[in-house]
Structure 1
């Protein structure tokens, strides 16, 4: 490796770490769930087809996973 390659590699690593943002998986999941329920054109169709209980079970399962 030449000096230019090493410098570029270090620059990429440092700049990526400096601008990394922290996110809350739980908040992201809740935002996605809310937007899906309110804005997805096929949401009611899926609820009618699969049932509200199945949807709630699915959300509970993934909510537990997201909290870990």
Structure 2
């Protein structure tokens, strides 16, 4: 049952676009911070493990709503 719930959650989450958001920070600054967090990762697997702690450390949260500040 637990596996089924996890599969359903993963399937549903694949439908929504996710954005890194931080109050008062727009697309350009977010893109720059994200690039900095991804720099030197080397490959996607490493990048996936380092991106989230880096962005959270910079004060960002994941949202399904894009940043509102340009």
Q: TM-score, normalised by structure 1?
A: 0.30
Larger radius of gyration: 1
- Report which of the two has the higher share of helix: 1
Choose between structure 1 and 2 for higher RCO, CA contacts under 8 A separated by at least 6 residues. 2
TM-score (norm 2): 0.29
